Amino acid sequence: MLSDKKILVGITGSIAAYKSAILVREFVKLGADVKVIMTQAATEFISPLTLSTLSKNPVSIEFVKDEERGIWENHVDLGLWADAFVFAPLSANTLSKMVSGNSDNFLIATYLSAKCPVWVAPAMDLDMFKHFSTQENLSKLSEKGVHIVEPTAGELASGLEGKGRMEEPENIARVVHEYFMDDSELKGKKIVITGGPTYEAIDPVRFIGNHSSGLTGVLLADACANRGAEVVLVTGPTKYKVQNPTIKTLSIQTAEQMMDAVKGEWPSSQVGIFSAAVSDYRPAKAASEKIKKSDQDIELKLVKNPDILAWAGETRTSDQYLVGFALETENEEENAKGKFERKKLDLLVLNSLKDERAGFRHSTNKVTFIQKNNKLTNFELKEKSEMVEDILNAIEEDIK
């Protein structure tokens, strides 16, 4: 959900600054582009190199980058760049400067130039936090629309017990994420996703399958859930696990089992994303015991599996949005366009085994979107996690 968001993390002089490394990592994991601004005092608690490494961007501290060459840091551009500004930890000193506008350091100067939503996560000893000046300053910020992430109670650096501990980084990231999630067209919608291969038994130890890893289905499920959707993932065998605990996962082995699961979920869903690599055929009858090797050839009779995507297209209502996937090795666009029409899709994601590092067993993929009115969108090779966000963005744009 934060894949297109730019987040500034402001770090001030507090022992809780060590937690800022975890916060930066959380934002990066959610797909955000993160830049860090530190006060000089903050550098006494955590290394700028650590934060630069985690954010993959240089850390800003002073107004001047290179005094000899006259290169300065543009706080105005940086403030306008951000979609969100998060002060964590926020010291009492920086809090007072935010209220008074005392821009004697680069962090406050950037804050005064920013036009994005701002969050502050105070961190200080309990008496400092309770002090009337701190409480008045927090009230003033809140009145002006700044979001306050209240500190928690517990053991403090001073050895005292009480309220003043900076909220845990994972919870701060969740608060910011939920703020932007409210803008998602997928929020509150039920989405059924199929992923992974299907395994069709020949005997108790052999099967017909394919090289699908199931990674795309899992990434789709997490990305949809992170945008606030109610997600059901129907997946064949895969080593990958979803991260979002709200996802309902139905694990299956065969195409018939996947069909049964989809029949139970698709009628009540608003969106279907069918990324599974379903075996087209299965043995007419699986042997109950392992087939022994002999000198004779054997014949294996195959029967057609149910076409899950076609069924979903035939039974869909006008209010449902349907996405299918196609993997082609020849006449890619022509075959994909035919599938798009036959299966009654809103979006088809086409990829080819001819593209290096695309398709099965890679963390990357190179795809083309086929949409209504013969709209084609070609994408460069990118990580599958990024491809998934492109898919959801296209769905949201169509729904909107």
Annotated catalytic residue within 74, 93, 171, 210: 210
| Cβ atoms within 10 Å, residue 136 | 12
β-pair partners for 365: 382
Query: In angstroms, rounded to a whole number, what is the distance separating the alpha carbons of residues 302 and 299?
Result: 10
Structure tokens that stand for 223 in this block: 């990305």
Burial state string for 205-226 with b = 16 or more CB within 10 A and e = fewer than 16: ebbbbeebbbbbbbbbbbbbbb
CA pair distance 267, 286, nearest whole angstrom = 31
378: annotated active-site residue:
no
**Residue 351 host element (H or E):** strand 347-352
Return the SS3 of 237: coil
* Count of C-beta atoms within a 10 Å radius of residue 204: 12
CA 346/CA 324 separation, integer angstroms? 8
Residue-by-residue DSSP string for 284-317: SS--SSPPPP-SS-----EEEPP-HHHHHHHH--
**Chain CA centroid to CA 221, Å:** 9
Catalytic residue IDs: 210
